[in-house]
Amino acid sequence: MNGNGIERLGRIQLRVFDFEKSVDYYTNVLGLDITARDENRVYLKAWDEWDHHSVILEKSDRAGVDHVAFKVTNNDVLDTLEKKIGDFGCTMERVSNKDRIGEGQAIRTTLPTGHKIEFYHDIEYVGVPTGTLNPHPWPEGQRGISPHRLDHCLLSGDDIVSTKRLFKDVLGFVETEKVVTVDGESLIATWLTTTMTGHDIALIKGPEAKIHHVGFFLDNWYDILRASDILSRYEIEIDVTPTRHGITRGQTIYFFDPSGNRNEVYTGGYAVYSDFPTITWTEDKLGQGIFYHRRQLNEAFTAVFS
Protein backbone atom coordinates (compact mmCIF):
# COMPACT_ATOMS: atom_id res chain seq x y z
CA MET A 1 0.00 0.00 0.00
CA ASN A 2 2.74 2.41 -0.99
CA GLY A 3 1.11 4.39 -3.78
CA ASN A 4 2.62 7.45 -2.09
CA GLY A 5 6.12 6.06 -2.73
CA ILE A 6 6.83 5.59 0.99
CA GLU A 7 7.51 1.92 1.64
CA ARG A 8 7.90 1.56 5.40
CA LEU A 9 9.54 2.75 8.58
CA GLY A 10 13.14 1.99 7.69
CA ARG A 11 15.25 3.01 10.64
CA ILE A 12 15.39 4.78 13.97
CA GLN A 13 18.37 6.38 15.69
CA LEU A 14 18.26 6.20 19.49
CA ARG A 15 20.41 8.06 21.98
CA VAL A 16 21.95 5.92 24.74
CA PHE A 17 24.20 7.06 27.58
CA ASP A 18 25.56 3.71 28.80
CA PHE A 19 26.97 2.87 25.40
CA GLU A 20 28.64 -0.52 25.79
CA LYS A 21 25.95 -1.82 28.13
CA SER A 22 23.34 -0.71 25.60
CA VAL A 23 25.17 -2.42 22.73
CA ASP A 24 25.30 -5.63 24.78
CA TYR A 25 21.58 -5.35 25.54
CA TYR A 26 20.51 -4.73 21.93
CA THR A 27 22.64 -7.60 20.62
CA ASN A 28 22.37 -10.28 23.33
CA VAL A 29 19.01 -9.58 24.99
CA LEU A 30 16.94 -8.05 22.18
CA GLY A 31 18.96 -10.07 19.67
CA LEU A 32 19.88 -7.65 16.87
CA ASP A 33 23.02 -8.06 14.74
CA ILE A 34 25.79 -5.46 14.49
CA THR A 35 26.55 -4.50 10.89
CA ALA A 36 28.97 -1.61 11.50
CA ARG A 37 30.25 0.73 14.16
CA ASP A 38 32.28 3.91 14.47
CA GLU A 39 33.40 6.01 17.41
CA ASN A 40 29.93 7.25 18.36
CA ARG A 41 27.44 4.91 16.67
CA VAL A 42 26.60 1.25 16.35
CA TYR A 43 24.47 0.04 13.43
CA LEU A 44 22.15 -2.93 13.90
CA LYS A 45 19.54 -4.97 12.04
CA ALA A 46 17.08 -7.71 12.88
CA TRP A 47 17.72 -11.11 11.29
CA ASP A 48 14.83 -10.87 8.82
CA GLU A 49 15.73 -7.41 7.47
CA TRP A 50 17.50 -7.10 4.13
CA ASP A 51 19.01 -3.62 4.44
CA HIS A 52 22.24 -2.71 6.23
CA HIS A 53 20.57 -1.44 9.39
CA SER A 54 17.28 -0.44 10.94
CA VAL A 55 18.52 0.74 14.35
CA ILE A 56 21.39 3.13 15.09
CA LEU A 57 22.57 3.58 18.67
CA GLU A 58 24.20 6.96 19.23
CA LYS A 59 26.51 7.61 22.18
CA SER A 60 24.99 10.47 24.19
CA ASP A 61 24.57 11.88 27.69
CA ARG A 62 20.81 11.33 27.55
CA ALA A 63 18.22 8.88 26.24
CA GLY A 64 15.69 9.56 23.50
CA VAL A 65 15.27 9.60 19.75
CA ASP A 66 17.53 11.44 17.34
CA HIS A 67 15.39 10.78 14.27
CA VAL A 68 13.13 8.29 12.53
CA ALA A 69 13.34 7.57 8.81
CA PHE A 70 11.11 6.10 6.12
CA LYS A 71 12.38 4.24 3.07
CA VAL A 72 10.93 5.30 -0.29
CA THR A 73 10.68 3.39 -3.56
CA ASN A 74 13.21 5.44 -5.56
CA ASN A 75 15.18 8.68 -5.48
CA ASP A 76 12.62 10.55 -7.60
CA VAL A 77 10.23 10.22 -4.65
CA LEU A 78 12.67 12.25 -2.56
CA ASP A 79 12.35 15.20 -4.94
CA THR A 80 8.56 14.96 -4.86
CA LEU A 81 8.42 14.72 -1.07
CA GLU A 82 10.88 17.58 -0.66
CA LYS A 83 8.51 19.88 -2.55
CA LYS A 84 5.29 18.60 -0.95
CA ILE A 85 6.61 18.79 2.61
CA GLY A 86 8.13 22.21 1.91
CA ASP A 87 4.79 23.44 0.55
CA PHE A 88 3.16 22.21 3.76
CA GLY A 89 5.41 24.66 5.61
CA CYS A 90 8.22 22.50 6.96
CA THR A 91 11.85 23.44 6.35
CA MET A 92 13.72 20.81 4.32
CA GLU A 93 17.41 19.93 4.15
CA ARG A 94 19.52 17.32 2.38
CA VAL A 95 21.58 14.84 4.38
CA SER A 96 24.87 13.82 2.80
CA ASN A 97 25.52 10.16 2.00
CA LYS A 98 28.75 10.52 3.99
CA ASP A 99 26.96 11.25 7.26
CA ARG A 100 26.29 7.61 8.22
CA ILE A 101 27.66 4.20 7.27
CA GLY A 102 25.85 2.25 4.56
CA GLU A 103 23.41 5.02 3.60
CA GLY A 104 22.81 7.18 0.57
CA GLN A 105 21.44 10.70 0.47
CA ALA A 106 18.32 11.54 2.48
CA ILE A 107 16.01 14.49 3.00
CA ARG A 108 15.22 15.70 6.51
CA THR A 109 12.57 17.85 8.11
CA THR A 110 11.20 18.59 11.57
CA LEU A 111 7.63 17.61 12.40
CA PRO A 112 5.26 20.02 14.18
CA THR A 113 5.83 17.81 17.26
CA GLY A 114 9.55 18.68 17.15
CA HIS A 115 10.82 15.31 15.90
CA LYS A 116 13.39 15.01 13.12
CA ILE A 117 12.21 12.75 10.33
CA GLU A 118 14.09 11.60 7.24
CA PHE A 119 13.24 9.93 3.94
CA TYR A 120 15.76 7.89 1.94
CA HIS A 121 16.07 5.24 -0.74
CA ASP A 122 19.71 4.23 -1.08
CA ILE A 123 21.07 1.95 1.62
CA GLU A 124 23.51 -0.92 1.41
CA TYR A 125 21.85 -4.30 0.85
CA VAL A 126 23.22 -7.09 3.04
CA GLY A 127 20.51 -9.76 2.87
CA VAL A 128 19.37 -12.22 5.53
CA PRO A 129 21.08 -15.34 6.92
CA THR A 130 18.41 -17.67 5.54
CA GLY A 131 19.14 -16.51 1.98
CA THR A 132 16.82 -16.56 -1.03
CA LEU A 133 17.27 -20.13 -2.32
CA ASN A 134 15.23 -22.86 -0.59
CA PRO A 135 15.42 -20.99 2.72
CA HIS A 136 14.63 -22.36 6.15
CA PRO A 137 12.02 -20.38 8.14
CA TRP A 138 14.61 -19.07 10.62
CA PRO A 139 18.40 -18.94 10.91
CA GLU A 140 20.67 -20.87 13.24
CA GLY A 141 22.46 -19.12 16.08
CA GLN A 142 19.76 -16.67 17.11
CA ARG A 143 20.38 -14.71 20.31
CA GLY A 144 17.92 -13.34 22.81
CA ILE A 145 14.43 -12.32 21.76
CA SER A 146 15.45 -12.09 18.08
CA PRO A 147 12.60 -10.10 16.47
CA HIS A 148 11.99 -10.29 12.74
CA ARG A 149 12.11 -6.56 12.08
CA LEU A 150 11.66 -3.01 13.26
CA ASP A 151 7.89 -2.49 13.21
CA HIS A 152 6.78 0.96 14.47
CA CYS A 153 7.34 3.77 16.93
CA LEU A 154 5.12 5.98 19.09
CA LEU A 155 6.12 9.64 19.36
CA SER A 156 4.78 12.36 21.63
CA GLY A 157 4.36 16.08 21.22
CA ASP A 158 1.89 18.92 21.51
CA ASP A 159 0.79 19.58 17.93
CA ILE A 160 -0.28 16.10 16.90
CA VAL A 161 -3.17 17.54 14.86
CA SER A 162 -0.85 19.27 12.35
CA THR A 163 1.52 16.30 12.37
CA LYS A 164 -1.34 13.93 11.58
CA ARG A 165 -2.42 16.23 8.76
CA LEU A 166 1.09 16.09 7.31
CA PHE A 167 1.13 12.29 7.38
CA LYS A 168 -2.42 11.88 6.02
CA ASP A 169 -2.90 14.72 3.57
CA VAL A 170 0.67 15.21 2.32
CA LEU A 171 2.36 11.82 2.74
CA GLY A 172 -0.72 9.68 2.07
CA PHE A 173 -0.73 7.60 5.24
CA VAL A 174 -3.94 5.88 6.39
CA GLU A 175 -5.17 6.70 9.89
CA THR A 176 -6.16 3.30 11.29
CA GLU A 177 -7.22 4.32 14.80
CA LYS A 178 -7.51 7.40 16.96
CA VAL A 179 -8.35 8.39 20.53
CA VAL A 180 -10.44 11.50 21.14
CA THR A 181 -11.97 13.21 24.15
CA VAL A 182 -15.43 11.97 25.15
CA ASP A 183 -17.05 14.92 23.41
CA GLY A 184 -15.05 14.14 20.26
CA GLU A 185 -13.62 17.65 20.11
CA SER A 186 -9.91 16.99 20.77
CA LEU A 187 -7.43 14.46 19.42
CA ILE A 188 -5.41 12.55 22.03
CA ALA A 189 -3.61 9.98 19.89
CA THR A 190 -3.47 8.66 16.32
CA TRP A 191 -2.13 5.52 14.61
CA LEU A 192 -0.91 5.88 11.01
CA THR A 193 0.35 3.45 8.38
CA THR A 194 1.84 3.43 4.89
CA THR A 195 1.99 -0.38 4.75
CA MET A 196 -0.62 -3.07 5.37
CA THR A 197 0.06 -3.17 9.12
CA GLY A 198 -1.93 -1.47 11.87
CA HIS A 199 0.63 1.30 12.31
CA ASP A 200 4.09 2.33 11.17
CA ILE A 201 4.05 5.40 13.37
CA ALA A 202 1.74 6.64 16.12
CA LEU A 203 1.44 10.02 17.82
CA ILE A 204 0.19 10.85 21.28
CA LYS A 205 -0.28 14.24 22.91
CA GLY A 206 2.50 14.60 25.48
CA PRO A 207 6.03 15.93 26.02
CA GLU A 208 7.52 17.67 23.00
CA ALA A 209 9.88 15.76 20.68
CA LYS A 210 9.89 12.62 22.84
CA ILE A 211 9.48 8.93 22.11
CA HIS A 212 7.21 6.60 24.06
CA HIS A 213 8.49 3.35 22.56
CA VAL A 214 9.99 1.61 19.56
CA GLY A 215 8.32 -1.64 18.55
CA PHE A 216 9.77 -4.80 16.97
CA PHE A 217 7.79 -7.61 15.33
CA LEU A 218 7.64 -11.20 16.56
CA ASP A 219 5.97 -14.14 14.87
CA ASN A 220 3.35 -15.21 17.42
CA TRP A 221 2.00 -15.08 20.99
CA TYR A 222 4.36 -17.86 22.13
CA ASP A 223 7.31 -15.68 21.10
CA ILE A 224 5.92 -12.86 23.25
CA LEU A 225 5.83 -15.21 26.26
CA ARG A 226 9.35 -16.41 25.47
CA ALA A 227 10.49 -12.77 25.31
CA SER A 228 9.13 -12.26 28.82
CA ASP A 229 11.16 -15.25 30.05
CA ILE A 230 14.32 -13.89 28.44
CA LEU A 231 13.80 -10.44 29.96
CA SER A 232 13.33 -11.94 33.42
CA ARG A 233 16.39 -14.15 32.99
CA TYR A 234 18.52 -11.09 32.24
CA GLU A 235 16.76 -9.00 34.93
CA ILE A 236 15.58 -6.40 32.44
CA GLU A 237 12.99 -3.95 33.74
CA ILE A 238 9.58 -4.94 32.37
CA ASP A 239 7.05 -2.15 32.07
CA VAL A 240 4.03 -4.22 31.01
CA THR A 241 3.86 -8.02 31.10
CA PRO A 242 2.37 -9.93 28.12
CA THR A 243 -1.10 -8.72 27.19
CA ARG A 244 -3.31 -7.68 24.28
CA HIS A 245 -4.08 -4.26 22.90
CA GLY A 246 -7.62 -3.27 22.03
CA ILE A 247 -6.18 -0.66 19.68
CA THR A 248 -4.51 -2.50 16.75
CA ARG A 249 -5.49 -5.89 18.35
CA GLY A 250 -1.79 -6.62 18.80
CA GLN A 251 -0.23 -8.84 21.47
CA THR A 252 2.62 -7.22 23.31
CA ILE A 253 5.16 -6.79 26.09
CA TYR A 254 6.96 -3.54 27.03
CA PHE A 255 10.38 -3.16 28.67
CA PHE A 256 13.29 -0.72 28.96
CA ASP A 257 16.79 -0.62 27.53
CA PRO A 258 19.69 0.30 29.89
CA SER A 259 19.27 4.02 29.14
CA GLY A 260 15.53 4.05 29.77
CA ASN A 261 14.27 3.93 26.19
CA ARG A 262 11.11 1.83 26.15
CA ASN A 263 11.05 -1.13 23.76
CA GLU A 264 8.13 -3.28 22.69
CA VAL A 265 7.92 -6.64 20.97
CA TYR A 266 4.63 -7.07 19.19
CA THR A 267 2.65 -9.55 17.11
CA GLY A 268 -0.82 -9.93 15.63
CA GLY A 269 -3.06 -7.13 14.47
CA TYR A 270 -5.00 -6.74 11.25
CA ALA A 271 -4.42 -6.03 7.56
CA VAL A 272 -4.91 -2.46 6.32
CA TYR A 273 -6.02 -1.38 2.84
CA SER A 274 -6.35 2.08 1.35
CA ASP A 275 -10.08 2.15 2.15
CA PHE A 276 -9.64 1.11 5.79
CA PRO A 277 -12.02 3.18 8.00
CA THR A 278 -10.57 4.94 11.03
CA ILE A 279 -11.52 3.23 14.28
CA THR A 280 -12.35 5.70 17.06
CA TRP A 281 -11.81 5.25 20.80
CA THR A 282 -12.98 7.74 23.42
CA GLU A 283 -10.75 8.84 26.26
CA ASP A 284 -12.87 7.10 28.89
CA LYS A 285 -12.11 3.75 27.17
CA LEU A 286 -8.38 4.40 26.67
CA GLY A 287 -7.39 1.89 29.36
CA GLN A 288 -9.26 -0.86 27.54
CA GLY A 289 -7.90 0.32 24.21
CA ILE A 290 -4.28 0.08 25.36
CA PHE A 291 -4.51 -2.90 27.75
CA TYR A 292 -7.56 -4.90 26.77
CA HIS A 293 -7.37 -7.41 29.61
CA ARG A 294 -6.80 -5.15 32.64
CA ARG A 295 -8.72 -2.22 31.10
CA GLN A 296 -6.63 0.33 32.95
CA LEU A 297 -3.34 2.15 32.39
CA ASN A 298 -0.38 2.00 34.76
CA GLU A 299 1.25 5.23 35.87
CA ALA A 300 4.65 4.56 34.32
CA PHE A 301 3.18 3.74 30.93
CA THR A 302 1.52 7.14 30.61
CA ALA A 303 4.25 9.17 32.32
CA VAL A 304 7.60 7.82 31.06
CA PHE A 305 8.96 9.18 27.76
CA SER A 306 12.55 9.52 26.60
State the catalytic residues.
152, 199, 213, 245, 254, 264
| CB 198, CB 266: distance < 8 Å | no
Q: How far is the C-alpha of 47 from the C-alpha of 291, rounded, in Å?
A: 29
State the maximum Cα–Cα separation within the chain, in Å, rounded to a whole number: 55
**Residue 180: exposure state from Cβ atoms within 10 A (0-12, 13-18, ≥19):** middle
How far is the C-alpha of 86 from the C-alpha of 6, rounded, in Å? 17
CA angle 24, 125, 117 (to 5 degrees): 70
d(CA 253, CA 184): 30
